[in-house]
Amino acid sequence: MSTTTSPSPPLPSHSSNKLRNSSPIFHSRSFKRKDFSIRCESENSQRWTVGCVSGTDPIHIILKPPSIPMASSAALASAVKNSKRVCLFYCNEMKDLAERIASQNDSIELRSITWRTFEDGFPNLFISNAHGIRGQHVAFLASFSSPGVIFEQLSVIYALPKLFVSSFTLVLPFFPTGTSERMEDEGDVATAFTLARILSNTPVPRGGPTSLVIFDIHALQERFYFGDNILPCFESGIPLLLKRLQQLPDSDNISIAFPDDGAWKRFHKQLQHFPMIVCAKVREGDQRIVRIKEGDVNGHHVVIVDDLVQSGGTLTECQKVLAKHGAQKISAYVTHGIFPNRSWQRFNHDEGGSPENGMSYFWITDSCPRTVKEVKDKKPFEVLSLAAPIAAALQI
């Protein structure tokens, strides 16, 4: 600090000690009550406040550092810590979801791939600006919706980590062979293990093993099918369902139904604050029918929860037995709406009073983009987007 006044005695020793221990350091003086000017020079660009204690002579000059609210400081530190910039590539099917992911976080930048084929049908691929992703965190959003698209996407998945990227994350929301995870007869092929082995051979980028993000894989033990060159990160769509259930006008009358013990084992801990109903398939003669194993149905809005749906046969059987036992409304949630051969058409919309004939809501995520396009604006279907949880996973 410099002044334009006549020399004055120094501040008492206790004031000098306070200033000596503060940061940044100023040269401070005290002054008589006369006209003077003060100029404060700080070692940084922050604005400091000058206060005067004027009850007695000499006047004491007190320097007050800028105050940063604790919450704001913590939020700023957290934002800086989590601002990992990611270059996100995607297959054509996942373009809409990729754009929604990028809209969640400014640190996610979309990058393009040219998907072409040669005359013989084999892929002719080009990764744009390959030099520009050197040293960057890179991710690829995949969709293995059919065997025909897997090879071309695997070609890109194997190529990206070899472009000197800092890290590589493969986002595969739906692991399609997850239901083929075991052998019941000699000669059965567990294709879940096959696909896991293929992905485990993804080249290792400079920063370490590839991260693999999957939502609600059919069997949790499938994590042990993957090798050491890939780190599976298993996420769930259930938080999206919980948020949607809270928005319903009858949210206090919701019960959760599981179509079998497997679904209960998989999801009951995430839904434990709801009343639960467990169904089971039992054999009667040559037929297998669905019965309620435990739980109270009467008068409730019952939501059937499972990881995926194919033809929908099990869900419709659950719907019938729940309606028979007095369910007021029936809805369903699955993370992966596969619906081969447009089997979603068997699910009608219940506009009120007919739970045996239709669903109030049928929630799916956008893990299967072809289904999303088919059911768009068709009741009872609603799509809960995985964009936010995927954007969060890319920041891990």
Q: Over 282-310, what HEC string results?
A: EEECCEEEEEEEECCCCCCEEEEEEEEEC
Ranges for all domains in the chain classified under CATH 3.40.50.2020: 86-235, 238-365
| Predicted pLDDT at 184 | 76
| Predicted pLDDT at 171 | 98
Alpha carbons 302 and 280: distance in angstroms, whole number:
16
- Please say whether the beta carbons of 262 and 279 come within 8 A: no
| Predicted pLDDT at 72 | 55
- Please say whether the beta carbons of 8 and 60 come within 8 A: no
CATH of domain 86-235: 3.40.50.2020
pTM above 0.95, yes or no: no
Tokens representing 171? 């986002």
φ, ψ for residue 107, nearest 5 deg: -85, 0
What's 225's DSSP letter? G
User: Other C-beta atoms within 10 Å of 144: how many?
Assistant: 19
Task: Please name the amino acid found at residue 121.
Answer: G
DSSP H or E segment with residue 371 = helix 369-375
**Cis status, amide bond into 58, omega within 30 of 0:** yes
Alpha carbons 136 and 87: distance in angstroms, whole number:
7
Alpha carbons 78 and 383: distance in angstroms, whole number:
31
Low-confidence ranges of the chain (pLDDT < 50): 1-6, 8, 11-37, 40-46, 48, 53-54, 56-57, 59-60, 64, 68, 76, 80
Choosing among 3.40.50.920, 3.40.50.2020, 3.40.50.800, 3.90.180.10, the CATH entry for 238-365 is 3.40.50.2020
Buried b (16+ CB within 10 A) or exposed e, 352-388: eeebeebbbbbbbbbbbbebbeebeeebbbebbbbbb
Tokens representing 53? 């204690």
Q: What is the DSSP string of 143-207?
A: ---SHHHHHHHHHHHHHGGGS--SEEEEE-S--TTTT----SSTT---HHHHHHHHHHTSPP-TT
User: Other C-beta atoms within 10 Å of 215: how many?
Assistant: 25
DSSP percent split of the chain into helix, strand, coil, nearest 5: 30, 25, 40
Alpha carbons 52 and 61: distance in angstroms, whole number:
5
Cα dihedral 356, 361, 366, 370, rounded to 10, equals: 50
| Predicted pLDDT at 56 | 47
| Predicted pLDDT at 66 | 53
φ, ψ for residue 295, nearest 5 deg: 110, 155
